[in-house]
Every structure is written in C-alpha cells, then in structure tokens.
A = this chain, B = another copy of it.
C-alpha cells in the first residue's frame, strides 16, 4: 500500500472511530460552565473501557438488556401508548401512568451507548421510537400518553402521584443525551416544546405547580446547561423552592420529598428515589447558582444518609411501605427495600456533590453503590432485574427477586442508562489537571482544561486486583496535577511514578501528583484489596454480633448453594480468628474472586430449636468448617438460595 493511500485510510478509520462531532461531545453532567463546579466531566465517548470487570456487564447491556426491554415495551403496549395518541394504533392505553418515562430512560441508555461506538440497528430502533413519541405531541406542546384522551380531565390534577413532570424530566434527559450522541435535536426540541407549554401556564404569577416525583428539576438544570436559557434554571429553582400556593399536606411533603423549600429539609425521609432525585436536582441547582442554603442542606442530608440510612451496598430505602427511608439505623437486611433506582439516585447525587467539591468521600460512596447496590440490579445474563436489592434472602423459591419485567419497570432502563454512561464517571478535569475516579482497563482521550491533548491508559484487573498501571501521555510535556483517588477502604496504598515511590499516600482522599508530565510516564498505584471484616454501628439492630466481608470496593455475601451440605446456611458463624483464602474462578458467575473462611456450624440446627428458650450465656461448641463467599452483585444468579451479607461471628 502506498503511503498516501495508507494515510487516507487511517484518516477514514480515525473519522469512524470518532463517534461525535466535537461540539456534541459533552459529559453526562455538563458542568463546563457551572460557577460552582470545581470538577468538569469528560464525555462518555472520551473513555474507552477495555477488558475487565465492567466489560461483560456493558456487553450484555447492549446486546441483551436494551433489545429485550424494547421487545417487552412492544409486548406490553408501552410504545403503543404513544401510537394511539398519534392515531397510528387504535388500542387501549396500557400500564401505569408513568410508562412514558421508562421509554425515555431506555432512549437515554441507547444514547449513552451510542457514545461508546456506533450501533446502527439499535440507533434505528431508537429513532423509530423517537418518531412515535414526537408524533404523539399536541400542538400545544403537551405530551404524556396517560393524561390524554379519556384521562384528559386528569391533566395537572394529580400533582402528588401523577408523574407528569417526572415523565417530562426523563424525556428531557433522553433528548439531551440523544442530541449529545447523535447531534439530532428532534426529541430534545419536542421536550423543550412541552417545557415551554408548562412555562406559559405554570409558575410565579401563573398557576402553581410542584413535582410530586422529583426528577424534572435535574433535567431542567441540564436543559439550562444545554441551551443557556436561564428560564429553565429559574423554573428548577421555583420547583425546588416550593410554591406555598400548593398547600401540600405534611405527610406528602415527607413522602414526596417535594412541596416545601428543599433548603428547609433536615433529614432524609419518605420515598427514597424521590429523595435521591430531589437531592440531585438541588445539587445541580447549587452548581449553577451557588446558593449556600442549598449546599448546607445537601451536606446535612448527605451526612444523614451515610451516617444513618445507607446500606453497606450503597442501597437506600429501608421500608417496603412507601418505598421509604426509615428511622436512623433502621436497616433491615431481608426486608431491605433498596430499590435499584434509589442506589442509582445515590450515584447521581454523589456525582454532583463531587463536581462541587472534589471531595473523595462522595466518590467513595458512589463507588460503593456502583459496584454493589446498583450493580446487583442487573442479572449476569442481562435480562433479569432486581427492583429490591436486599442484603439477606431466606431462599424461598416463590420470592422472585430477579424478573424480566415489572409493572413499574423503572429500574431496568435506569440500570441500562447507568451502564451506558459508565465511562463518563471515570475522570474529571479541574483547572489543576485531571482527576481519576475509577479504575479499569481503559483509555481516556481528552484534553486538559487548557486544551492540551492528553491520553491516559489504565492497565489493571481492578477490582479483583489492587494494582493499577496508568500510562500518562500528554501530547507534549506539560505540568499539571494527576489526582488519583485512594479509596477509603484501602488499608494500604502505594504510588510510584516511573518506578519511584511517592510518599504520603493516604486512603479516603485524592492524591495529588503534580509534576511536569511527559509522554510515556508511568504511574503505578497499589491498593490493598485483602478481604476485610466490616462491622456496623451497634445501633443497626439487625447487625449486632455480625460482620460483613468486603474486598476492595466489593461487598461479599454467602449463598446457601456454595456452603457445605448438611448445615443450613444460617447456622454458620464466621470464626473471626481465621484468615481468608481467595481463589479466582473464571467460570463461576461470569468470573469472580471467590473467598473462603473458617467458620463454626451451630451444634444444634436452629430449625429444630424452639422460637424462644431460656437464655444460657455460654454458646454451645459448634462444628468447624469452611464457608464460601461471592461478590454481592452476583447474588441470585443461580438457583433460589438463601443469601446473607451480614454474618454472625464467634
């Protein structure tokens, strides 16, 4: 091949490999011009994830989850709901009143996926869905398949449970992501028309309104970031501030996490997903306005979450009743509600707090929820989803914890959009340099905030292994700071640059490596991922006398199926004096590091004992044995089996 032809070919290849025109390549959260953003994200397209932990998860998401959910939307009539409004189908409306939002979340997931590379079939399917959606829009701009035709009279009548603004919020997020992925504005413009319809009817001096399910707020702020139209930010402020004309009942103010000024809240309560989305929206609003009332409230609520109301997995929402937060320390394991959407909301909120502060604890909690309480939501096969992600199961086969479909099918597309957008959570830039938040085989191709191109390549088996090699390749030598996140869980962490150890590395912080970086610089990070026991605050009543096992960012659990036969899983106690054995099992559960530990089986099987008996202080001598642990996110991927995260110890 001649050199000029080779060059041409290379140019074409490079063009094909660059999925987006530069002006569309925006981060998941576009804080580039946010006054209070210390950090600024990088586009999904800027990070290519290689082999490793997330590869099979993202592969099934694209190849199984997204197409099968679209099929289910068809089967369940969720897409027909749009087509009947446009007159394309003459069928009754199906599903609960918020089904539109599920389609929007699916579209957003597709949009993120397209940012990681072309998927022509998927894109074509999504474009057809967008056409169906936009065709259902009224000339007024109104668009919601429930509050139309036979339910027209209900429009804007049920602000508490109606999900009208919630659906619109997801429509805007999908429209924004789609535009960022493809440059196409059709869905975004349609969403803007609905926003304009709302703004002309509701707000200060017009009719009062509030979001019974927060979500619209964060979408409005991102719309403001996308369009620079300040009215959208102001409307988010109006909604977050609460219009006193709404007269929301106290129990609704609690449950809805809406209906009173956000900055007057003092604790997390009510519906967990609503609280997470409201807090995310409020954080977005703070990033743009710098209103300190919001920031103080956000910090108070965040402390309430991580000190009192969050599971070890990053899941939140303790109660089935109301899908709600409970009292401080009310964290039941078996009855944990821990909706996948709530763990995802936790991720969204922490991401926003991180942009505002660059403080590592937010990323620690994000990582916790990402690897555990959210990750568990999608089955390894990609076609089953958890709505609840409990920390204990009795193993009742009727207890179907993973299902292909829920009438309220909010979690499946939420998991899909999280996995689709995942590369966008790996890095941020700041005026000082580059922040590395997450570790995985990957390549970042982006630039510093001064515009100088930069490539960072990670080589690692993280989270299975704690060693991460980062190749830092500025286009030309350049001084900047590389901020490496040292997770709070790391009991030991070491960094070397080009083979030279760097002192002062400390867990639970970003370690700042400032130097004149030059092409081919190598950073080696070593995090201690030795398995560890974690105890809960004694106020968590159910975890007294128990420990959890963690390894790196991964929470582990016991499943009955892996334990020695002849002893019920719940009759094992960990022998706290023992050591862990780790074994890589490539053929088990998609490839996992299995853990084993010494344990003691109860002398008398609990099943044969009475429910209540006179107390005897000295525990009976038990039978020694070895128990097996698997990462929590893989639970319930085989046959029905008891499972527990918190394990009694002796």
Contacts and interface: CB of A to CB of B under 8 A. Distances in A.
Contact of A612 (B536, B541, B542): B536
A467 to B, nearest CB: 22
Nearest to A269: B398
Interface string A525-568: 00000001111111111101111100000000000000000000
A614 B570 contact: no
A545 B571 CA distance: 14
B333 A541 contact: yes
Given A334-B327, A335-B330, A394-B327, A540 B611 contact: yes
Contacts of A602: 538
B611 A308 contact: yes
Interface string A329-358: 110111100000000000000000000000
A477 to B, nearest CB: 42
A259 interface: no
Nearest to A330: B334
Given A320-B320, A328-B394, A611-B307, A606 B335 contact: no
B570 A612 contact: no
Among A332, A539, A540, A576: residue with most chain B CB under 10 A:
A539
Contacts of A327: 334, 394, 396
A422 interface: no
A83 interface: no
Interface in A235-286: none
A538 B648 contact: yes
B332 A537 contact: no
Interface string A74-116: 0000000000000000000000000000000000000000000
Measured as residues with beta carbon below 8 angstroms from the partner, the interface class of chain A is 35 or more
A535 B394 contact: no
A392 interface: yes
A280 to B, nearest CB: 21
A308 to B, nearest CB: 7
A556 to B, nearest CB: 13
Nearest to A607: B539
Q: Which of A312, A392, A542 has the most chain B CB atoms closer than 10 A to its own CB?
A: A542
A319 interface: yes
Given A320-B320, A576-B617, A616-B535, A546 B544 contact: yes
B535 A576 contact: no
A292 interface: no
Contact of A532 (B310, B392, B614): B614
A221 to B, nearest CB: 30
A406 to B, nearest CB: 15
Contact of A535 (B319, B332, B539, B612): B612
Contacts of A335: 319, 326, 330, 332, 335
A580 B322 CA distance: 42
A573 to B, nearest CB: 9
A538 B545 CA distance: 11
A407 interface: no
Contacts of A649: 615, 617
13 contacts: A307-B610, A307-B611, A310-B611, A327-B334, A327-B396, A329-B611, A330-B335, A332-B335, A532-B615, A538-B648, A544-B648, A547-B615, A548-B612
Interface of A: 306-308, 310, 312, 319-321, 326-330, 332-335, 392, 394, 396, 491, 532-542, 544-548, 570-571, 576-577, 602, 606-607, 609-617, 646, 648-649
